Structure 1
Amino acid sequence: MKKLVSLLLLLLAVLLPPMLTHAHVKWFAKVAPEKVSIEEILSPLFITISLLCAVLLAVLSQVMSKVMDIPLASRLDKKLDSFRKYSRHVLKYGTAVSFIFQVSYETMFAPEFTIHDTWQTVVMWIIIIFLLIPHHYATKIAALFMLGLFINVWSQAGWFHMLDYGFYLAIIGVLLVGRTKLETVGFPFLYLGTGLSLCWVAVEKWVYPMMTTDIIHHHNVPTFGFDPGIFVVLSAFIEFVVGYLLVVGILNRVLAVVVTILFILTTTIFGYTEVVGHAMIHIVLLIFIIEGISFYHPPIKIHKTRLDQMIFVSLNFLFVLSTFLLIYYRFA
């Protein structure tokens, strides 16, 4: 028990300061986005933290599995296993609740996409109603309406902008493949889509750091002694690492619980807009808490020895980080 509590406190102490800025910067920043030079992004601090993260992730890939050896964690793991049969219901009805929040705020998918036409409100309510009907055909109809509305928003906002919300495509995919032969690939796709979305959003903080520092100043976000510029870099790394952990399958239930708590804490600073914007992410994380990685064959398992796994995680992290940063900077 004491070991588990100590681990949770350690994770909170490490993650809490940066995660307090996890609210999407586009929702709250009052300054125009201003891209900094690539030389400024690739500072000695950035390179040093990148290498440290690669090493820490390599170690983490071996440590996190040991958490389940703790008796209390093992019992909790078995208890959560019994709720797996409700996972699809959580996603279905959780999505309906999230959309109710959004339509009450007169937005679609995110606080930045305002409802302008009556037909958009009608479609939002059609999605909600069909999601609330307890039949898988109704779920598929709702998913198709979601896809159509998402494409409409995509056509207006642009493909680059909508990559921030790519996890909605994963959610739509899970809802569509329910009760079909492809049902087993639904939740792994949700892991992948959510993880990549978090990684993509994190890069925004490096490319447009002034937007995040503006939020820090206007909302009095505590930096815990860090210079705002350093704080922005750290917050982006934490967000990117969490997304990466989802993709490679290291994020188990313990870390999912911690991340969920930290997302909830951001509502104390950003209020109802934060609730509307991240309600869907909370639902997804709740599913991860229930499911763990039972349904997901993580890429790390391709490698059998511990050394191979550690090398894979660290080098792959640096590759993914470089790829995301260069692609985002090129098209930003």
Structure 2
Amino acid sequence: MKKIFQILLTLGLIMTPIFAQVHVKWFTNVEPHKESIENILSPMFLLLTLVAAVVLASLTLIIPKMAKWGTVKKMEDRLSSLRKYSRYLLKYGTAVSLMIQMVYGTLFAPEFHVNSTIITVLAWVTIGFLLIPHHISTKIGASILLGLFIYVTIHHGVFYMLDYGFYVAIIGVLLVGNTRLEQAGFPFLYLGTGLSLSWVAVEKWVYPSMALDIVANHHVPTFGFEPSLFVVMAAFIEFVVGYLLVVGVLNRVLGFVVTAIFISTTMLFGMTEVIGHFMIHIVLIIFILEGVSFYNPPIKMHKTKTDQFIFVFLNFIFVLATFLLIYYRFA
């Protein structure tokens, strides 16, 4: 019985991210019910917070040792040779993502339906400029895309659009290409993407009823866990991934694993998942190519392993508490 429980627990922890990357509002029509802060901060939530903090802090000790493995070194060298394609991948990946969205009559996310001819034309013009292999056309396309993002933000609100803040980071990278600010582009991309993932994760804690409806109606396997606990764990996984991107702990090996898991969500949620998260997949692939070579992550401010361990442990708890309180206040 003990072995069976251990197997279920392991599978649950591995497979939880398949649900973690889901935007719950895309797959349910349930009226959102805001959970009380007392119920959110349950003993299990606090326990998972401590466990996550310890695991994340431990990565500062584990990852440097993994980097010394022969297989990992060979993979690192091979991927490093592909870094020159990262900007092209982002530029053309953005164009393809917009194409997919426009074909299905949406912009930025599945719930943002395009009902204006002008917006449709501007979106296709943006795609056209992004497909032209010149940095000036890229900047023009990025500028139009920024205007479209502002337009959608005006109609849906800043709070709502924080879920898609990574688009601002993408636009920023495209705008600073071939300028003296070019080196700041990818760090900004990782910061924006990480913060967006962490922000979206909080939604599952504050509005668990929507996530529970998805688990029930889409027959999401919970691997022996109670659905309510499964939702909390899924949110933790997504929040942790976003946090890792920001602090620079997530390396290429983990990047491979996370990318494979995120892509697998398409098998469960279909085309809506592709429309909504195609750009996230592009960013994660870029991370695999780039590693953290261009990024001076916050963790590097601390030189000793002990300092890094303490920094990640305490910083994770602080960031989680801040995100949760801000989201809860304005939700």
Partner of 1:327: 326
State the secondary structure of the residue aligned to 1:113: strand
CA distance in 1, matches of 2:14, 2:321: 22
Q: What root-mean-square deviation, in Å, do the aligned CA atoms of Structure 1 and Structure 2 show?
A: 1.3
Partner of 1:32: 31
Spell out structure 1 runs of 4+ moving beyond 6 A.
10-13
Partner of 2:186: 187
Please say if 1:238 is aligned against 2:230.
Answer: no
Read off the aligned partner of 1:235 and give its amino acid letter: A
CA deviation map 1:89-132 (0-9, x unaligned): 00000101101100001000000100011111101101110000
CA distance in 2, matches of 1:263, 1:303: 31
- Unaligned 5+ runs, structure 2: 1-8
Please say if 1:168 is aligned against 2:167.
Answer: yes
TM-score (normalizing by structure 2): 0.96
CA deviation map 1:68-97 (0-9, x unaligned): 211111101000000011110000001011
TM-score (normalizing by structure 1): 0.95
Aligned residues, how many?
A: 323
Could you tell me whether the CA contact under 8 Å between 1:96 and 1:132 is conserved in 2?
Answer: yes
Could you tell me whether the CA contact under 8 Å between 2:132 and 2:138 is conserved in 1?
Answer: yes
Could you tell me whether the CA contact under 8 Å between 1:20 and 1:262 is conserved in 2?
Answer: no
Could you tell me whether the CA contact under 8 Å between 2:20 and 2:237 is conserved in 1?
Answer: no
Deviation of 1:11 after TM superposition, in Å, equals 9.3
CA distance in 1, matches of 2:98, 2:10: 31
Partner of 1:291: 290
CA distance in 2, matches of 1:21, 1:76: 28
CA deviation map 1:157-181 (0-9, x unaligned): 0000000000000000000000000
CA distance in 2, matches of 1:11, 1:257: 19
What does 1:167-316 align with in structure 2 at a 5 Å threshold?
Answer: 167-316=166-315
Partner of 2:78: 79
CA distance in 2, matches of 1:157, 1:65: 43
Percent identity of equivalent pairs: 63
CA distance in 1, matches of 2:87, 2:12: 33
Partner of 1:140: 139
Q: Structure 1 residues 94-103 or 53-62, which shifts more?
A: 53-62
CA distance in 2, matches of 1:217, 1:235: 15
Partner of 1:3: none
CA distance in 2, matches of 1:182, 1:81: 22
CA distance in 1, matches of 2:57, 2:316: 9
CA distance in 2, matches of 1:21, 1:223: 12
Please say if 1:123 is aligned against 2:122.
Answer: yes
Read off the aligned partner of 1:309 and give its amino acid letter: Q
CA distance in 2, matches of 1:194, 1:11: 28
